Each structure stands twice: as structure tokens, then as C-alpha cells.
Chains A and B, each alone.
Chain A
């Protein structure tokens, strides 16, 4: 990006980033779980923006800052499904991991949500943190 091209508006147009570190928007209403996931993600040097419901998430979302959205599906005040569809509409490239509360009954759930909503991966609680982190890493490289 040349300084010359944008003149004094350079700082407006230059895409800020977290020094190369990917930004993750973490949307989860349960404080403990959100805290645990934040700890784990930050341990892997990701930058985490937190939200406790869909509305808050929409407000905090910034396409320049966020590379991956991790969201619970059933939350009060605009659930995750609505959020995902909204985000996907305006940012088709955004990566999404959905967390569902329904039991592990079989592949049906996953496929349903994953493909209908456009999520890249789905995890059903309770999930293994190891597997989750592996998936996050995969999506952000």
C-alpha cells in the first residue's frame, strides 16, 4: 500500500490487523464456557473478541478484524443461527464454527446445521477441546 496513493487518508484505508494474528469472534452466553474457550484460544496466540449473545456479536463484528466466528447456536436475544446467516450474507468468506447443545445423536445434526447455515464446522457439546483447537487451527491457516 503506497503512502502516496491515499494521502492523508492512508490510515483510514489501511487494513489494520493484530500484527498478523488471526482474530476470532467468540459468541457464547455461558460465561464459564466462554472463559475456558477464550483461555484456550489465547494460549494459541489468537486474538479473541467476546460477545455473550447474537446482538452483541453483530455490534462487535468487524470484517477487518475477524477471521473466524465461533458461536453457540441457542442463545437468548438473537440466537446463533440468525447471526450466522446474517454474517454469511455480508461476508461470504467468513469462517464459522458452530457449537450446538443437542446431544450426539448422529451425523444428522451436524450436516443439517453445517450445510444449511454455511458453517464450516460444527461441534456438539460436550466436545473435546483438542479436536476443537485442531479445527480452529485448520481453518485459520
Chain B
């Protein structure tokens, strides 16, 4: 029903009221509109009337009215209320021909009801028509739909199918209708999926699922199947409307997206640098796990993170952010940041900005933790600087030494020319005294620049450390205490014990100075760490003094740099220590906290002899003859070997070898000869040595490119071994060990 019937009455007042009364009496709910004449109606109308009663006086008037209506409201039936003579058959016929759908005489208005009723019925009939049209359209759509549609009744039989269905299953409608899905799909598929879904949907449930199957001749492979229940009104018949939709493309797209997501996920999760997105004010929109790890942000604290939170003192980063303009990429290196846990790191942020309609300028960036590289670079710079200073210092030192000799020489000569009691003599002795002081400083400078030749031997580091602790203890002020914490250290270090002693003394002296006012504790630790390149002995000297200010910490190893008052320190202590340790192949490092104290750490590589030679008792069984024309070298080697428990005899050439051999030759089982002699004698000598005792072994130290020794080797293959010049003490000991 399309709402209330709209009734129009075009008549005088009296007739209108009469009509209205009659309508009201029959109890029909309709809208009644009244106008005195057609024109006024036409001007004011806002609805098309469904039925019109118009009062006319004669045929001419009625024809006019009817034509007006016909033109303006062609669908509206008009009933003439004839106010003239009662219409006879001819008049009636005329009016009908003119377009009226009925005639009523004004004297008796009852027939009006008939017309109203008829109009109402007609309306209903119109609904039917539009419904029909709708149905036709609907049928057209379903018939030609891409989806395969079918209607299955409660007997599990196909009642209706659309054209697509028939096409894909390559069957005719007539063949399908009446058959069951069981016949179409086969037992397996029917039992596994279709049966239960049909049952559910027939019971009133909507069933949806995604299925992968191949329909022969069809390119698709992924389908969405929807079972919709339908209950027919009136007879409660149940149907299931089954829609099968080809979603292969969507499915593939979903799979690709999923794959891309997984890829992104792995990039995000496992990339070793942080990836993040933030607004131009630093608010983090999203970030990967590594980002949070680098900045040590708890999982619980990941809301409202802003990048500027990690730049402690200077909020400079906000100004960096402001310089980022859309479409440009920028990199900020060596950013000094502080993590949530308070750790200081150096990082690099590389970013690209874009305009985002929602957020304004959006920045996509990476965060790399570069702390290691930056610190390494700084350390290298420092080392380089110190080396340069060292070279310079060394050069100056040598010249100064010469000049000092001249000064002291002349003052000594002068002292001889004057009376011992004279003032001049006194002055001159003071000159000499100053020269001595200058000499000390120059020595320190040379030590710092590592231009001193030192003799290195295997040293037990704990011995030297003990000695220095005792030395320091004896001279400490009363308010300073020294504590030792030594662990066992396996092996020895290659060092000059005097120099090593000096290093420890210098560092500990510094520590004591820092605790002069308030006193404190020096803790000396010794331990061993094992790394990729072997073991390292670590000495830690920790004090509870004033600490070293950040601004000067890079200068502490500079020669002559001191924070003490004039006259209270030369500023060479740490320079010398640095020079010595670096010259030994070790490292010296410092950690400090102003007001809390300082910790110096000295690392030296440990040299471990293999177990079978480590014990001194075993070594004494090995008797070595070392022959070298260079007496100094032989002395050094023999000293080292003796320290390790071997018994050593020295010779300086083939003659002395022969001499020793004739004496105690049979006792010696190991020979180390520096091959700087040639000739037949050598061959004879080697033969003799080997002949004396089958267990004798020889190591020859040869000049590179020297043929002499190669000949000698042929005399006794596996008992002779050659190592090439230049050799270090260590290499000799290694060769000894290996042979």
C-alpha cells in the first residue's frame, strides 16, 4: 500500500461537505482535498490525487475539466458530479467518452463510495505491477550473476540454479533441477562439507566458509561459499540459497600481502638497526624491536615516546628535526644520546621526511648504535696525538741531552778554575744540580715517546705488582689505605720489570694525590681475562679520590700536563706510564667519576708456555748451547732461558762450540746456533753435533736468503730446524718449545 488515498473534490462548499460526510460515514481512511475549481487546485497542488470528484454544470464544463485533468494528471481517474439534469444514457456516454471514469448525479451521492472503493482496489493492483517489474529485474540479475547461485530445498534437491552455475558445471538447468549436490559433487565432498552446511542453513543458520577446489575447465581455485536460509511465507517451506563466489584473486592478493607482512616482520624484528616513524616534533608513531632495544625502553613504556627524551643536555635534536623538510633525506651522525636506563651511546639517525595528510610532516628513519665506532675513533685519535707528541718529544730530548752535556761540562771545567770555597764554585754546583733535574725530565720524555731501548724478559706480573704496592704503602699518608685483591694469573708478561714497576708507582702516586685532602682507599686488583687473541693480565688501580673532570680526561697522558699546582708535579707520570705500557703492546685505560674516584686499568698480553715446558723441574733436564757472535744477544737469551729453568751454555762461534763440546759435549742435548758462519767447518760441526748423541736437536738462526744453512739442514733432516732473522727473544723461545 502506498499510503493513504488522496481524494480531490473540486466543487462548491455545500457539495464538498455533503461528499465528505458520505465518505466519513463509510469509515475509509483517506485524504480529502477540496478546491473550488481546477485552476486554484492546479496552482496549489502538492500531491497528485489518486481520485478526483469534480462538480460540473453542463457538458461543456465537464469536457473542459476532463481535458485539463487529462493533460496535467493523466493517471488520475475523474468522476463527474453532474449538477444539471439527471444524466441520461447519451449524456453518460458523452461524459465517459470525454474521459470521465464515472458519473454521479448530485442528488444522490452514494455511488461515490463505489468509485472510491474501486480506486483503492486499483491502487493495490498497481503495487502488484511494480512488484512484478522488480521481480523481473531481480531475476535477470541472479540469472546472469558471476556467482554460482542455487536454491536447494529441504529434500536436498536443487530447485533453482542460475545460468553461471550451469555454465561452470557444464550442465543444463533441466538436468540439475531435481538432482542433489551429492550427485554433483561426489560422496567425499558432500559428506565432508556440503551436507553439514546444508543442514545448518536449512535449520536457519547462515554458513560461510572458504574452500579450495578445482572445477574442471575453470581457472579459479579459491571460493567463498555462503549458505543462506530461506523460509517461504505461508507454507514454512525451508530452502537454502547457496552462493559460490570465486575469490581466487582476492585470496592470492591476501597471500601476497601476508607474505609481505611476514617479510616486513622479519625486517623489523631482526634488522640490527632500529627502524622507526615519527612526527616532526619527535613523537614516535611506530618503531621496531631493535629501536626499543637500543634505547633500552621497557615494553611497558612504549606509549608516548618522544625522540627528544633521549638527548639529555642539549635539546638540539629538535632543531635538527625542524630542518628536515618534506621529500629530503638527512643523516645525523655521532649523536650523543642517553637511553632510558641512563647508558650513554652514540648513534646515527638517517631519515627521510614526507608529507602525510593526517600528521603533517612524517619522518621515516633508522637508528644505528655507533658507540663502538665513535669511541674507537676517539681512542685512535688520542693515540695518534700522543704518538705525534712522542716523536716530537723524542727529537727535542736528544738535542737537549747534547746541550746539557755542554752546560754541565763547562760548569765542571769552571769549577776547577775557582776556589772550592768561593761563591762562584757554589753557583756552578747549583748549575750542575739543575742540569741533573733537566736530565730526569728529558728521560721521562724519552720514556713517554717510547724511544728508550729496553730489555724485555718474562716477568711474573704479580711479583712486580706486590713490590710496587709495598713501596707505595711505605710512603702513604696516614689517611690513605691500600687494599689488594689478586687473583691467580697463569703465565708471564714480556716486560722490563723496572719499567713496569715505574708504571704502577706512577699510577698509584696519582691516586694518592687525588685523595690528599680527605683520605681514602686504593684498591689494587689483578686478574686474568681470556679473549680471542689469548689471555690478558689486567691490573686495576681504583681510588676514592676526586675523580678526573670530563673536560680534561683526554689530556691526562700528555707530557707536562698536570692539574697540580706549580712545582708540585711535572705532569710526566701518566705520560711515562702510557709510553711504557703501549711500548709493551698493552693498553692503559681510565674510568672516572667526579667526586667518586678513578679507576685505571692496565692490560698486558700474557704469554703462556705450553704445559710440557712450563714446569721448572722439567726444564732443567734440557741443556742448551746457545752460540751467537753477538754477545749481548746471547746474554739476553741465556738470561731468559735460565729464568725459565733451562741450563744454558754460551758460545760465540764454531771454535768455542768445539771447545765446549770437547768438554761437556755429551751433556748438551739442544743446540741453538746463529748461522753467521760458512764453509766446510760448519758442515763438519753439525755432523759432529748430531753424531754425538742421537737425541740432539739443532735450531739454526739464519739470515734470510742465506744459502749456508740450507746446506747444513741436509745433513740431518728432522733434527735440524731453521728460523729466519730477524728473530726476537720470544721467537727463539717458541722455536725451542716446538722442537
Q: Interface residues, chain A, CB within 8 Å of chain B? A: 30, 32-33, 35-37, 39-40, 43, 74, 101-106, 108-109, 111-112, 115-116, 124-130
Contact = CB atoms under 8 A, between A and B. Distances in A.
A101 B401 contact: yes
Contacts of A127: 405
B401 A130 contact: no
Contacts of B442: 103
Contact of B409 (A108, A112, A115, A129): A129
B555 to A, nearest CB: 24
Interface of B: 397-398, 401-406, 408-410, 412-413, 435, 439, 442-443, 446-447, 451-455, 496, 498, 630-632, 635
Contacts, number: 85
B413 A36 contact: yes
Contact of A103 (B405, B447, B635): B447
17 contacts: A32-B406, A33-B409, A36-B410, A39-B410, A40-B413, A43-B413, A105-B447, A106-B496, A108-B455, A111-B632, A111-B635, A116-B630, A116-B632, A126-B435, A126-B439, A128-B408, A129-B408
Interface of A, helix, strand, loop or mixed by DSSP:
helix
A36 to B, nearest CB: 4
Nearest to B452: A105
A130 B435 CA distance: 15
B406 A30 contact: yes
A121 B139 CA distance: 125
A30 B398 CA distance: 12
A106 B454 CA distance: 8
A35 B406 CA distance: 8
A109 B446 CA distance: 14
Task: Return the 3 tightest CB-CB contacts between A and B, nearest first.
Answer: A125-B401, A126-B404, A105-B452
B453 A109 contact: yes
Contacts of A35: 406
B632 A104 contact: no
Contacts of B413: 36, 39-40, 43, 129
B198 to A, nearest CB: 103
A79 B402 CA distance: 16
Q: Which of A111, A112, A126 has most B Cβ within 10 Å?
A: A126
A125 B405 contact: yes
A37 B413 CA distance: 10
Nearest to B410: A36
B409 A37 contact: yes
Given A125-B404, A130-B412, A101 B632 contact: no
Contacts of B402: 30, 33, 101, 125
Nearest to A31: B406
B498 A115 contact: no
Nearest to B411: A129
A32 B452 contact: no
A102 to B, nearest CB: 7
A79 to B, nearest CB: 13
B406 A36 contact: yes
A134 B688 CA distance: 48
Nearest to A133: B412
Contact of A33 (B405, B631, B632): B405
Contacts of B453: 102, 105, 108-109, 112
B454 A36 contact: no
A86 B401 CA distance: 27
A78 to B, nearest CB: 18
B412 A129 contact: yes
Contacts of A116: 630-632
Nearest to A34: B406
A105 B445 CA distance: 12
Nearest to A125: B401
Nearest to A39: B413
B431 to A, nearest CB: 12
B631 A115 contact: yes
Given A33-B409, A43-B413, A102 B632 contact: no
Given A30-B406, A105-B454, A116-B630, 15 more contacts: A33-B402, A37-B409, A40-B412, A101-B402, A102-B452, A103-B401, A104-B443, A106-B454, A115-B631, A125-B402, A126-B408, A126-B439, A128-B412, A129-B412, A130-B412
B632 A112 contact: yes
Nearest to B436: A126
Q: Which of B398, B409, B412, B439 has most A Cβ within 10 Å?
A: B409
Nearest to B636: A108
A74 B398 CA distance: 10
Contacts of A112: 453, 632
Nearest to A72: B402
A36 B402 CA distance: 11
Contact of A102 (B408, B446, B496, B498): B446
Given A125-B402, A126-B401, A103 B452 contact: yes
Contacts of B404: 125-126
A36 B397 CA distance: 20
Contacts of A115: 630-632
Contacts of A128: 408, 412
Contacts of B397: 103
Given A102-B452, A108-B455, A36 B409 contact: yes
Contacts of B632: 111-112, 115-116
Contacts of B498: 106
Nearest to A101: B398
Contacts of B631: 115-116
